[in-house]
Amino acid sequence: MKRLAWSLAALLSLAPAAIAQEGTPPAGGEKPAAAPAKHENKVTEAAKAAFEAWEKMMASPVAQGLKDFSGTIEMKMEMPGGGGREVKGMPSMGMSFSVVFKAPKDLTVGARGGEMFPRQAAEGMKQGVASIVLNALGLYVPAGDEEFDADVVTENGKKVLVLTHFSKGVHTGSMRMTLDETGLPSFGTVTVKDGSTPVEQKMKLSWVFAKDGDLHRLEKQIVETPMGNVEYQVSYADAGGFRMPTKFMTSMGGMKSGYRFTELTVNGKTVNLSRRRQVFSS
């Protein structure tokens, strides 16, 4: 099993204020506290069925013959009025990510650059890249190493997929996704606990799927955060028999982030990206 659609890691990478802060080291030679026990995941049969139905509705390259791919994703940020240009003498606002995937759902992401970002924010962005790639591939179930509970409840006549997340046994937040008649999510909410305070932050979610024959492809997601609305939009390119997600645009107010493959090898063959190298071009 792999990552849920727009995991908390991805959402945290959008809202830096919500990124959990690492604990400070114990003062004065105190012994560090024992590591908390890992949460024992509880996933009901109804939740498993919901995940399976969701993935069957998606136009997944894996189901169409994708065995493996590797490449480099470039990320750049464009400040309001900046025109996509970086300021000379200032640290780079960009990062790049190495991405390696093996079917059915094994994805590894590495990162380099990003001098402007705190280490925790950069780590959140790396996890966010993993989530948006997997979601665009139509792979939505949480990873086996993630700590979570999942269940399906009925509210106002509609099925709601409820996920409760933990980190090292500690509750960190929850996600509630209302499913439409196809089994795909239409809207939902995420509640995130700030790592430095007991305050919870709530965010609203909505999904937009494009039809692909009888199946669906993720086109856009909107996240309403305390800092403002964030919009993700996914673009695809032909990769020999199926379409691969190659560009992920994020906008929040006047600031944009562009994630784009600059190199991509699929099933041992190089994908031509010559017309899609500029992060902020159409």
User: Residues 217-261: pLDDT tens digits?
Assistant: 999 989 888 778 888 899 888 887 788 888 888 887 777 878 889
User: Residues 197-216: pLDDT tens digits?
Assistant: 556 778 899 999 999 889 99
pLDDT at 36: 65
Q: What is the DSSP letter of 18?
A: G
Burial of residue 188, with CB atoms counted within 10 A of its CB: 0-12 exposed, 13-18 middle, 19 or more buried: buried
pLDDT at 111: 85
Distance CA 114, CA 94 (A): 6
User: Residues 162-179: pLDDT tens digits?
Assistant: 999 888 888 888 999 999
pLDDT at 42: 94
User: Residues 77-130: pLDDT tens digits?
Assistant: 776 655 545 444 444 557 889 999 999 888 999 887 755 566 666 677 787 788
Distance CA 261, CA 100 (A): 12
On the question of a cis peptide bond just before residue 104, with omega within 30 degrees of 0, the verdict is yes
For residue 9, name the pLDDT band (cuts at 50, 70, 90). very low
pLDDT at 22: 34
Q: What is the mean pLDDT of residues 141-160?
A: 87
Q: Which residue has the higher pLDDT, 93 or 64?
A: 64
Tokens 């790396």 locate to 126
Q: Which residue has the higher pLDDT, 193 or 229?
A: 229
pLDDT at 261: 92
pLDDT at 81: 58
User: Residues 11-44: pLDDT tens digits?
Assistant: 444 433 233 333 334 445 555 556 567 899 999 9
pLDDT at 268: 93
Q: Which two tokens stand for residue 14?
A: 């959008």
Q: What is the mean pLDDT of residues 58-87?
A: 78
pLDDT at 87: 44
Which one-letter amino acid corresponds to residue 282?
Answer: S
Element (H, E) at 172: strand 170-179
pTM: predicted TM-score of the whole model, two decimal places: 0.72
Q: What is the mean pLDDT of residues 37-57?
A: 91
Which one-letter amino acid corresponds to residue 210?
Answer: A
